[in-house]
Amino acid sequence: MKKSILEVKNLKKYFPVVGGVFSKPIAWVKAVDDVSFNIFEGETFSLVGESGSGKTTTGKTILKLIEPTAGQIIAEDIDITNYSASEMRPLRRDMQIIFQDPYGSLNPRLPVGEIIREPLVVHRVGNKKEQEERVVEAMQVVGLRPEYLRRYPHEFSGGQRQRVGIARAIVLNPKFIVADEPVSALDASIQSQVLNLLMDLQQKLSLTYLFVAHNLAVVRHVSDRIGVMYLGKLMEIADTMELFNNPLHPYTQALLSAIPIPDPEIKKERIILEGDIPSPINPPSGCVFRTRCIYAQDICAEKMPQLVDIGSGHFTACHFVKKGGKTEFTKKS
């Protein structure tokens, strides 16, 4: 039986919108709204969705880089939801993050050797000589030469900078890493190199990933399971091949229809979503996707469908998907 390394229960993160003379909250941005899932040891669980769907906020909230509004975060059977910064510090050795921006996430005033060494200093791991040895080892593992130790971030390319960020994340030998769109800022040719590196590291170091992305081709390449988010809520969760071969939620179907096929002779029916993602300050009633769904009916405005298992670990939140994956869609007239 697979061991769950992380469990998220009914997670919420609301940000206040302040106004008035006294800067009091006048509304709330519902960035993450009642999200539940678990991640098994050694797997890559990916969150996908449009910009503004709450993927990155979910990842940062799980690591408690931002505090959750409600819900539970359970890491290896320990409820860390209400842990203080001092209580979280010992756990941070096992929970790291790779940031999206390889330019903004590195301190331009420090050479890369010091950037990678910093987590070891913070957590008081070894003496200076041992720390330097671990830094060199981490650099070699991610494909950087040891002689780059004294170079500054501006002397590296985007792909090399992201390798520095990866080295910083693995230098403490963590168990769990949140990879927040780690290749979205890189050229296509470099993306594949970094993705292959992450997959190799997962095998060598027995890592577990929460992979945040909007590129479904990338997600298909690296993921074991995928969660599809829309406006702070999970629409569907399934194994990677199951999701791509049998997407059940209308939103997932629309996302997959947008993936280009590298063959001009193959005709593919595209599902066009009208309008933009609604404001998380005032999301639609009932199903948050109903305003853009071609199958929406009256019940969709009245009741938010729950994320339910329709069989074989395939979860979806739609009124018209039944047990066994049977769908009862009817297009709006």
DSSP per residue, 218-270: HHHHH-SEEEEEETTEEEEEEEHHHHHHS--SHHHHHHHHTSPPS-TTS----
Question: What amino acid occupies position 28?
Answer: W
Per the CB < 8 A criterion, the answer to whether 247 and 254 are in contact is no
* Helix and strand counts by DSSP (H, E) for the chain: 10, 12
Bridge partner list, 238: 226
Quote the CA–CA distance of 316 and 310 in Å, as a whole number: 7
Distances, alpha carbon 91 to alpha carbons 86, 87, 153, 270, 323, in Å: 10, 8, 28, 45, 39
Within a 10 A sphere around the Cβ of 213, how many other Cβ atoms?
23
Bridge partner list, 29: 15
Q: What is the pLDDT of residue 327?
A: 77
Per the CB < 8 A criterion, the answer to whether 278 and 284 are in contact is yes
Q: CATH for 4-94+174-270?
A: 3.40.50.300
Q: What is the mean pLDDT of each run of 10 residues along the chain (333 residues)?
A: 90 92 88 96 95 94 96 95 93 94 91 96 94 96 93 94 95 96 86 92 95 90 95 96 94 87 72 82 93 91 92 92 77 66
Question: What amino acid occupies position 171?
Answer: V
Question: What amino acid occupies position 304?
Answer: M
The token pair that represents 265 in the structure block: 């002779």
Order the strands of the 308-309 sheet from edge to edge: 95-98, 176-180, 208-212, 44-48, 225-230, 233-239, 315-316, 308-309
The token pair that represents 86 in the structure block: 């001092």
Distances, alpha carbon 304 to alpha carbons 69, 138, 285, 289, in Å: 20, 47, 8, 10
- Which string of b and e fits 276-292 if b means at least 16 CB within 10 Å? ebbebeebbebbbbbbb
The DSSP secondary-structure symbol of 59 reads H
> Residue 300 burial (CB < 10 Å; 0-12/13-18/19+)?
buried
Quote the CA–CA distance of 138 and 168 in Å, as a whole number: 8
The DSSP secondary-structure symbol of 155 reads G
140: left (phi over 0), alpha (psi -120 to 50) or beta: alpha
Per the CB < 8 A criterion, the answer to whether 228 and 236 are in contact is yes
The secondary element (H helix, E strand) that includes residue 28 is: strand 24-40
